[in-house]
Amino acid sequence: MKQMSLHVVGANHPNADGGNRRFETLLCVPGEPIELIPEPKNPADPNAIAVFSSRNVQIGYLTADRAPWIGGMLRNGRPIEAIFQAATPAGAAIRIGFDGDHPVLPPADATRATPPDPATVEFWPDEIYPDD
């Protein structure tokens, strides 16, 4: 399986049309298609890759460390398919599949502890000592 998750940043910046990236990110549903658009004329970074929701609203950019790599693949015609994975504090996470591999959401975080069932927990209260 040729897949990976990538961060999307810049959610707090407004879009050129005044659209709210953070709000659009909250409308995204895990698994919905995402479009990656290279911006070679971006004055801040010619390697910038804009990330758009399925409603064609920008939700941010790929991080500066990954954008040149992904941009090179896009320029060379390598097939890349992206889906929305989750909203994050910095913006979002997307899942990318390479070379015709359809991206699949990773399983839910298995490291999160689930609270124990109260019916199965033995509770022994501290002894109560009488006041002298």
Tens of pLDDT, residue by residue over 14-70, are 888 888 999 999 999 999 999 999 999 999 999 999 999 999 999 999 999 999 999
CA pair distance 114, 78, nearest whole angstrom: 41
pLDDT at 17: 86
DSSP H helices, the chain, are 21-27, 67-75
Tens of pLDDT, residue by residue over 83-92, are 999 999 889 9
Which backbone phi and psi does 72 adopt, to 5 degrees? -60, -40
Contact 49, 71 (CB under 8 A): yes
Instruction: State both tokens at 30.
Output: 């895990």
CA pair distance 76, 78, nearest whole angstrom: 6
Q: Which DSSP helix (H) or strand (E) runs through 53?
A: none
Residue 110 pLDDT grade (very low, low, confident, very high; cuts 50, 70, 90):
very low
